[in-house]
Structure 1
């Protein structure tokens, strides 16, 4: 019986090591996949009852550089009325964008579409498409 317990313990540990992999992170965002120009196509601003959906939008563009910088032609902050351009940084490892006075901004990328999720009480976000 002790022999069976030892075998079972060794087998459990071996499975744990085999199943854990150091590349389990977000493989969809790489520095090269996000670099370039992106135009806003839709925004989401849920009214508080869960019924919000993305609605067509335009007039905002982002430029991601290969140096980890993101430039926006208007204020990057969601819902801001400021028309001033803004610049920040992005990190593909943490999938975050940091712009002064804007908090909790995350990037999700799928081929030629980016979805940016802002920290809001209700769901809010923006969708962009790559500009060729």
Structure 2
């Protein structure tokens, strides 16, 4: 009986110690590189003929940003109805709205730059820089 108690105690202790408080470490649906605040710096639009270019945002326009939280919550000034995000795979982020509908965006993080490409018939995208 004492052996069973010791074994149970050791297993319990092992599980408690192995648990991490950082949800992004344990959740493969989150990308730790996204954590933090991002500011929109450029937009991309293509009329359908391949002539699209990245253009800086208007300096007089309101600042647009996205805050990705470690627990999968989201604050996006452009789309306030998006409240959660998950990583569908290495290239796709799924954004969940309050009404439970989901939008999928292609994404790429390189250094401190994030590119989001929503579903568009022609090319379109948003380029963000991480705010330190």
| TMscore range, shorter length | 0.5 to 0.7
* Cα distance per residue 1:32-79 (max 9 Å; x no partner): 21100000000011111110011101621000000112211232xxxx
Structure-1 residue corresponding to 2:24: none
Conserved? CA contact 2:39–2:131, under 8 Å:
yes
Change (3 A) 1:90 1:117: same
Structure-2 residue corresponding to 1:13: none
After TM superposition, the score normalised by the length of structure 2 is: 0.63
Offset of 1:93 from its aligned partner?
A: 4.9
| 2:85 paired residue among 90, 93, 97 | 90
After TM superposition, the score normalised by the length of structure 1 is: 0.63
Instruction: Give 5+ residue unaligned stretches, structure 1.
Output: 1-29, 76-84
Number of residues paired by the alignment?
95
Matches within 5 A, 1:38-77: 38-57=38-57, 59-75=63-79
SS at match of 2:33: helix
The runs of at least 4 consecutive aligned structure 1 residues that moved more than 6 Å come to none
**What RMSD, in angstroms, separates the aligned Cα atoms of the two structures?**
2.2
Conserved? CA contact 1:36–1:130, under 8 Å:
yes
